[in-house]
């Protein structure tokens, strides 16, 4: 999938990220690989929950505390970003890799003026000599910290080995204990005659109610004492009769219930006995194997310590030497700058320069070492104008709530651009905006990418949004990339049924039929499905899709798709009619546009 003609900027290989929850590990990203080249836009598309944002947050080093990077690497400037510490990330995050988030309002501080928010990062990192020092030692420092991070990762994997071992056994034991509880609960609640008993009780409740009404009727009638006694006796006899009848009808039903519960209880006792035996065996097995797992974990830690101790002295010596060299270089730079400054100031005083001229030269000298507030403001106003914010001098002193949604997003983009990053990650930056503003923001990102020669990772759930800005497209589903190719290949020759489904659900001006919704919902990644994760929602699914995960099949040198439909033994499957029609209409429009351009060019030549 690599393009050898372009400069590789970022490489993600076999990345796997999970999240610890009370229910277990949720496997959010499962073996994602892609490359990002200089000056290109890679669009990652897929439904919510497909792992797009988790992938981008891993690159930025801003995963939540319960996240676990289980496998893979993110290589940038020779460093694996999954293994560096926070101090090293501080050198990269924002400075070399910037990010624009989905909701600009939640990304901005509502009680801080936007100008201060734009200049904040510049002023925090205003010490230019420190930046110069960090740049000089960055390679040696990264090598030293990487070996430390590698040991730390090995320790974490060793601890996780024990945790996963214990968790696996605990799950099995918990499942057996749950079956025991469930069996006794069923035994106590089993009632095969529940409906019949309810009907009998309701029937006699109604009869008792009628009898009580008959009994109270004597108070409304003018009866003699003898008649009242006779009436009470009659009621008492009827009451006894009803109770006897009720008991006669309930007795066989209650007996059936008792027998059923006794049988269920005996079965529960058997299940308890069997499962307690299994639990005892599991505990014994766990205890025996735990020694082996702990020994294996200790071995992993020991090997990491040996590697660290062998590599550390040379790396530490190289880092110390580079630090010494950096300090010397900075001292030399300061001395040379001071000499030039002193000479310039002497010359200015000799010719009787004004106070303003002297202050200007002093500011120029100071700007060599630190970014002043005035310089930060000037840079902020420049970038605000660059992202299309009118009257930047006025808007500089306004609060986020005084801006529209589109303007707020421009502010967020401006903040990301202040450090002139090499890579810009845009995590669904147009989702909260209307269609017109979406187009403006997309056009802005495209323009900035070309002007600054940036590389862009653009994340979206809507293929329609990225159609006119992507150089390459990666389609993600259930934590995996299922298709990747150039924009033309993915849009005009899609191969994966999930890509077909996404294209079928996009509204456009040419569609005159009902859009096709994707049936069902994405799988819950606590227990990822076996085989192709999209199989349960895929009307083209074959038996093998439910058994084996498809590999990537090569379509062209730049186009790959993970679907068994591309296997030469698979039956031929035609893409949905709505997708074919859209591709045909889009190609026709493109051809007509080219002919119109050619016609205009020829007309211009004739006029000339």
Residue 24 pLDDT level (bands cut at 50, 70, 90): confident
Question: Does residue 210 lie in a domain region?
Answer: yes
Q: Could you tell me the two tokens for 314?
A: 């040379």
If you write DSSP's letter for every residue of 126-159 in order, what string do you get? -BHHHHHHHHHHHHHHHHHHHHHHHHHHHHHHHH
Whether residue 509 has pLDDT greater than 70: no
Which whole-number Å values give the CA distances from 98 to 101, 116, 469, 546, in the listed order?
10, 18, 19, 40
Return the minimum-mean-pLDDT range out of 347-356, 487-496, 510-519, 540-549.
510-519
Strands 455-460 and 423-427: parallel
Question: Does residue 516 lie in a domain region?
Answer: no
Residues 6+ apart with CB under 8 A from 490: 473, 475, 483, 484, 499, 559
- Distance, CA of 212 to CA of 204 (rounded, Å): 12
Tell which wins on pLDDT, 223 or 1: 223
CA angle at 270 for the pair 268 and 274, rounded to the nearest 5°: 115
Tell which wins on pLDDT, 600 or 427: 427
Task: Output the average pLDDT for the chain.
Answer: 87
Cβ-contact 118, 380 below 8 angstroms: yes
Question: Does residue 174 lie in a domain region?
Answer: yes
- pLDDT tens per residue across span 174-207: 889 999 999 999 888 888 888 888 888 888 888 7
pLDDT of residue 435: 78
- Distance, CA of 391 to CA of 407 (rounded, Å): 12
Residue 294 pLDDT level (bands cut at 50, 70, 90): very high
Whether residue 90 has pLDDT greater than 90: no
Cβ-contact 578, 505 below 8 angstroms: no
Q: Mean pLDDT throughout 81-92?
A: 81
Percentage of the residues of the chain whose pLDDT score is greater than 70: 93
Question: Does residue 331 lie in a domain region?
Answer: yes
Task: State the pTM of this model.
Answer: 0.70
Whether residue 607 has pLDDT greater than 70: no
Q: What is the phi/psi pair of residue 422, to 5°?
A: -85, -30
Whether residue 1 has pLDDT greater than 60: no
Query: Burial, 506: exposed, middle or buried (Cβ in 10 Å; 0-12, 13-18, 19+)?
Result: middle
- Distance, CA of 302 to CA of 90 (rounded, Å): 30
Which whole-number Å values give the CA distances from 539 to 476, 524, 529, 560, 565, in the listed order?
19, 20, 17, 21, 12
pLDDT of residue 602: 63
* HEC sequence for 191-249: CCCHHHHHHHHHHHHHHHHHHHHHHHHHHHCCCCHHHHHHHHHHHHHHHHHHHHHHHHH
pLDDT of residue 219: 58
Whether residue 220 has pLDDT greater than 70: no
Cβ-contact 555, 495 below 8 angstroms: yes
H-helix segments, 389-456: 392-395, 405-417, 435-452
Question: Does residue 389 lie in a domain region?
Answer: no
Which whole-number Å values give the CA distances from 453 to 38, 424, 456, in the listed order?
7, 11, 10
- pLDDT tens per residue across span 68-81: 998 899 999 888 89
- pLDDT tens per residue across span 101-151: 888 888 899 999 999 999 988 888 788 898 888 888 888 887 888 888 888
- Distance, CA of 395 to CA of 74 (rounded, Å): 38
- pLDDT tens per residue across span 529-551: 999 999 999 999 999 999 999 99
**Which range of residues forms the domain containing residue 323?**
158-345
- Distance, CA of 343 to CA of 359 (rounded, Å): 15
Whether residue 493 has pLDDT greater than 80: yes
pLDDT of residue 188: 87
pLDDT of residue 5: 65
- Distance, CA of 91 to CA of 407 (rounded, Å): 28
- Distance, CA of 446 to CA of 565 (rounded, Å): 35
Domain count for the chain: 1
DSSP state of 521: -
Q: What is the phi/psi pair of residue 83, to 5°?
A: -120, -5
| 229 alpha-carbon distance from chain centroid | 83
Q: Which residue has the tokens 């090598």?
A: 143
Whether residue 235 has pLDDT greater than 90: no
- Distance, CA of 556 to CA of 232 (rounded, Å): 98
pLDDT of residue 590: 67
- Distance, CA of 14 to CA of 7 (rounded, Å): 21
Whether residue 217 has pLDDT greater than 80: no
| CA distance between the termini of the chain | 46
- pLDDT tens per residue across span 376-423: 999 999 999 988 899 999 999 999 999 988 899 899 999 888 888 999
Q: Which helix (H) or strand (E) holds 355?
A: helix 355-366
Question: Does residue 448 lie in a domain region?
Answer: no
pLDDT of residue 594: 65
- Distance, CA of 511 to CA of 6 (rounded, Å): 38
- Distance, CA of 492 to CA of 586 (rounded, Å): 9
pLDDT of residue 606: 57
- Distance, CA of 576 to CA of 463 (rounded, Å): 16
Question: Does residue 271 lie in a domain region?
Answer: yes
- Distance, CA of 247 to CA of 242 (rounded, Å): 8
Question: Does residue 541 lie in a domain region?
Answer: no
pLDDT of residue 552: 95
Q: Mean pLDDT throughout 242-268?
A: 88
- Distance, CA of 498 to CA of 491 (rounded, Å): 13
pLDDT of residue 303: 93
pLDDT of residue 507: 72
Cβ-contact 380, 396 below 8 angstroms: yes
């Amino acid at each position: 999938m690599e393009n050898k003609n372009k400069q590789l900027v970022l490489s993600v290989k076999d990345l796997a990220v999970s999240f610890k929850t009370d229910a277990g590990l949720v496997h959010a990203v499962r073996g994602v690989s892609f490359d990002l080249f200089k000056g290109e836009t890679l669009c990652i598309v897929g439904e919510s929950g497909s792992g797009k944002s988790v992938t981008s947050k891993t690159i930025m080093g801003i995963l939540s505390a319960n996240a676990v990077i289980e496998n893979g690497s993110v290589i940038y400037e020779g460093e694996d970003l999954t293994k560096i510490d926070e101090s090293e990330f501080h050198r990269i995050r924002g400075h070399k890799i910037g990010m624009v988030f989905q909701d600009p309002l939640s990304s901005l501080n509502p009680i801080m003026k936007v100008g201060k928010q734009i200049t904040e990062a510049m002023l925090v990192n205003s010490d230019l000599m420190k930046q110069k020092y960090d740049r000089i030692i960055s390679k040696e420092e990264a090598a030293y910290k990487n070996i430390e991070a590698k040991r730390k990762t090995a320790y974490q994997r060793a601890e996780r080995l024990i945790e996963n071992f214990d968790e696996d056994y605990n799950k099995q034991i918990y499942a057996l204990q749950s079956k025991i509880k469930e069996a006794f609960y069923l035994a106590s609640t089993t009632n095969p005659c529940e409906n019949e008993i309810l009907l009998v009780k309701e029937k006699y409740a109604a009869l008792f109610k009628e009898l009580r009404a008959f009994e109270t009727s004597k108070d409304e009638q003018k009866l003699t004492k003898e008649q009242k006694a006779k009436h009470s006796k009659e009621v008492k006899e009827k009451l006894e009769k009803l109770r006897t009848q009720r008991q006669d009808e309930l007795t066989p039903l209650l007996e059936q219930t008792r027998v059923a519960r006794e049988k269920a209880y005996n079965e529960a006792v058997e299940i308890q006995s069997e499962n307690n035996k299994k639990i005892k065996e599991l505990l014994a097995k766990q205890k025996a194997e735990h020694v082996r797992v702990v020994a294996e974990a200790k071995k992993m830690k020991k090997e990491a310590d040996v590697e660290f101790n062998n590599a550390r002295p040379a790396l530490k010596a190289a880092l110390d030497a580079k630090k010494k060299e950096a300090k010397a270089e900075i001292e030399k730079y300061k001395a040379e700058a001071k000499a030039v400054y002193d000479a310039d100031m002497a010359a200015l005083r000799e010719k009787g320069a004004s106070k303003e001229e002297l202050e200007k030269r002093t500011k120029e000298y100071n700007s060599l070492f630190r970014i002043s507030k005035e310089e930060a403001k000037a840079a902020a106003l420049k970038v605000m104008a660059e992202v299309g914010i009118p009257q930047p001098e006025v808007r500089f002193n306004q609060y986020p709530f005084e801006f529209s949604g589109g303007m707020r997003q421009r502010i967020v983009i401006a903040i990301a651009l202040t450090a002139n990053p090499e890579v810009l990650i845009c995590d669904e930056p147009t989702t909260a905006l209307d269609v017109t503003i979406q187009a403006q923001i997309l056009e802005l990102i495209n323009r900035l990418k070309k002007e600054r020669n940036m590389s862009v990772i653009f994340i979206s759930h809507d293929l329609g949004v990225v159609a006119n800005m992507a150089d390459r497209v990666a389609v993600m589903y259930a934590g995996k990339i299922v298709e990747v190719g150039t924009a033309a290949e993915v849009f005009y020759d899609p191969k994966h049924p999930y890509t077909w489904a996404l294209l079928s659900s996009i509204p456009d001006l040419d569609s005159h039929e009902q859009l096709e919704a994707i049936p069902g919902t994405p799988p819950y990644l606590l227990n990822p499905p076996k085989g192709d994760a999209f199989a349960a929602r895929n009307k083209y699914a074959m038996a093998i899709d439910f058994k084996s995960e498809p590999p990537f099949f090569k379509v062209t040198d730049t186009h790959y798709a993970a679907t068994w439909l591309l296997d030469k033994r698979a039956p031929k499957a035609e893409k949905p009619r709505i997708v074919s029609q859209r591709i045909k209409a889009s190609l026709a429009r493109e051809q007509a546009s080219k002919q119109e351009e050619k016609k205009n060019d020829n007309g211009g030549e004739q006029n000339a």
